[in-house]
Structure 1
């Protein structure tokens, strides 16, 4: 055989081998179909077209019905199916690449060409199969996160057109997690528009009632009272504050038979009695997990109005968060929300509302997707909730709606409320007014808070003072007050 003809034949074989690999990349099974393994090729192409058709159908349904995408992406059964489909695709596609390499008759190629084909086959197998296995892992992480954090609890109906979620912030210390929550807020969310009102309850509130007919109301028919003697005794005072209910419930578990979290249930019944709202679900946020969450999303931008001490109140001050519009890391954000040194509880509550507002408006869906693995790792230590997994899609949609709207805050703190002897009628009237449809007076209220912003009067990092009130605790637009 002439040398030129042999070289030309080798080049043709090499091009054919490369073409088979490229065909497998573009349309799995097509190489087998043209190279003689028609049955394998037909099966692969049918599977590929079926998967491609399913993807197109999902996209079209998502474009037509946006709620479908959220349901599809949070359904654990579907996520489990997607996981196995991706794993099957990875194995099947890798097999087709190897088979296409063999159909290219590598032994008939020159040594350099064989090495090039081995390298091309390895790169394609690693890239395609590796990517599919990575996405399978991400789906598995999402499924496990939903399963571990969100349970199969009872679905509750909206109350007067709103979902009311009790948000509790628990100390990250090993000896206190889940016992005496440091932060208590009710997020009341309009079920149609996502318009959100945050109702802040001080942890040191005394003399409050429980929801009528509740377990705690039967135990304390005259309310959780603290008389003059109690108020003058620091130890007794601590045992009668709102955040002490979790401890009381832990010591009286027999009152809460069949209840998974007695401390949360006792607190919820108190919050319902104070606000007049019916709580749908609760979410207990572990502050250590919150720190990890902020780290996972790359930090949060906040207006630091005063120098905020890190540490203090029972321990040394180890540093400061300096004033300015700053991007804080998880450690700094946690201390911005927690610090009580050179401030009071109500100033701290105002700063916590600002952190909530910043997280709502700054953590975009795109960032969640890009940082999902880190967020999932934080989520396992971040949250305890009774929100059923089946309702997760509903609340994702509400969160996206809430991002485009101002958040209103009403906190039951001085000067509006005497936390030692709260006027429950005043509190419940304020709740009804806040959740009523927005009126023109809302603009005037927002303008009033913007005056705080201009004045520059701050206490402990929050606009306002104990005597005049803090802007972020009573705001028609929380962004203006922060």
Structure 2
């Protein structure tokens, strides 16, 4: 499916986050934008999980400096329509397709977003899922196996083990919800610097400016073969560009939008997200979203966790521990991520292919 080129550059984008890190935070921002129209019954749409109870007390300490860390995942868990969108594993189980650590700096005017490649080889800690099931530790496994093994709680446990940082919140957006939110927003405008074609993702875009509908946007943030060398790192670059576009578009949803439209957006957004229990109500989501409304695309610093290609498997990457530690130390101290943390690490050929 090919999108029509758009002659006027309105600079609109949208951030429902499946590509997931700022994605979910962007979706939630819809609730804040339409605060006056988010009705009580929307509480019934929200699925929440008691992550804190599952993780127990053996966790990194809270920052206590006004900053927050949010783990945002894009997955295929909540909708039966995900299978036709390419979701799920061969055995029908759910998986996390995108992972982003969103660090909201003190003052809530800037955010650092760290994408975690799903193909990163990690040592997964033992964990307890939100149903009380226990899962033993495993060495040398892919990062996204944590979610496939023990769901959200195990994903959070693994991220905290890797980073040494406490995840204050958890947000998850599923494929079908992501697609619907993009459509509700009227599409997302992006510019491609070269042709992108990937039959597996139902994507066929010529170089130029396009307003993507929900299916095309989903194809863009999931494609691995349409750009670069086909690696997960190339796809992450596309996701990061799309996230900025999404944040911009959400910022343009304002008082001129009619009550029904705002309600429809809020309804779609709350059906699409799964949260930790602290965010499991419309009031909590609205309060959280209101704290993010001053973060513009220019206030987002997006990087990929420093990695190198695995010499034993070209389809896997390994954490560059010394450089990654620079990233985690910066977030722990609520400081900007230094450029030296990502210099000389595995990069992708998709840089600059898409701009918001």
Distance 1:200 1:293 in 2: 22
Match for residue 322 of structure 1? 206
Distance 2:350 2:333 in 1: 22
TM-score, scaled to structure 2 = 0.67
Structure with higher strand content: 2
Task: Check 1:335–1:420 CA distance in 2 against 1; reply closer, same or farther (3 A cut).
Answer: closer
Contact 2:108–2:295 (8 Å) recurs in 1: yes
Match for residue 348 of structure 1? 235
Distance 2:318 2:51 in 1: 35
Larger radius of gyration: 1
Distance 2:158 2:267 in 1: 33
Contact 2:71–2:101 (8 Å) recurs in 1: yes
Match for residue 295 of structure 1? 183
Q: Structure 1: give runs of 5+ residues left out of the alignment.
A: 1-69, 80-138, 227-239, 250-262, 450-464, 473-478
Match for residue 138 of structure 2? 224
**1:247 has 2:148 as partner:** yes
Task: Check 1:416–1:194 CA distance in 2 against 1; reply closer, same or farther (3 A cut).
Answer: farther
Higher RCO (CA-CA < 8 Å; seq separation 6+): 2
**1:173 has 2:73 as partner:** no
Aligned to 1:393, what secondary structure does the other structure show? helix
Distance 1:348 1:409 in 2: 14
Aligned to 1:373, what secondary structure does the other structure show? helix
Distance 1:353 1:467 in 2: 14
Task: Check 1:410–1:297 CA distance in 2 against 1; reply closer, same or farther (3 A cut).
Answer: same
Task: Check 1:367–1:310 CA distance in 2 against 1; reply closer, same or farther (3 A cut).
Answer: farther
Contact 1:180–1:243 (8 Å) recurs in 2: yes
Match for residue 248 of structure 2? 361
Contact 1:166–1:283 (8 Å) recurs in 2: yes
TM-score, scaled to structure 1 = 0.51
| Alignment of structure 1 residues 446-457 onto 2, 5 Å | none
**1:265 has 2:153 as partner:** yes
Match for residue 217 of structure 2? 333
Task: Check 1:203–1:368 CA distance in 2 against 1; reply closer, same or farther (3 A cut).
Answer: farther
Q: Which of 96, 103, 108 is the aligned partner of 1:193?
A: 108
Contact 1:206–1:422 (8 Å) recurs in 2: yes
Structure with higher helix content: 1
1:340 CA drift (Å)? 1.5
Q: Which of 152, 158, 166 is the aligned partner of 1:278?
A: 166
1:209 CA drift (Å)? 5.0
Task: Check 1:366–1:424 CA distance in 2 against 1; reply closer, same or farther (3 A cut).
Answer: same
Aligned residues: 288
**1:145 has 2:31 as partner:** no
Q: 1:233-277: CA deviations, max 9, x gaps?
A: xxxxxxx2111223322xxxxxxxxxxxxx110011001111221
Contact 1:311–1:339 (8 Å) recurs in 2: no
Q: Structure 2: give runs of 5+ residues left out of the alignment.
A: 1-30, 53-60, 77-81
Distance 2:324 2:335 in 1: 19
Distance 1:182 1:275 in 2: 20
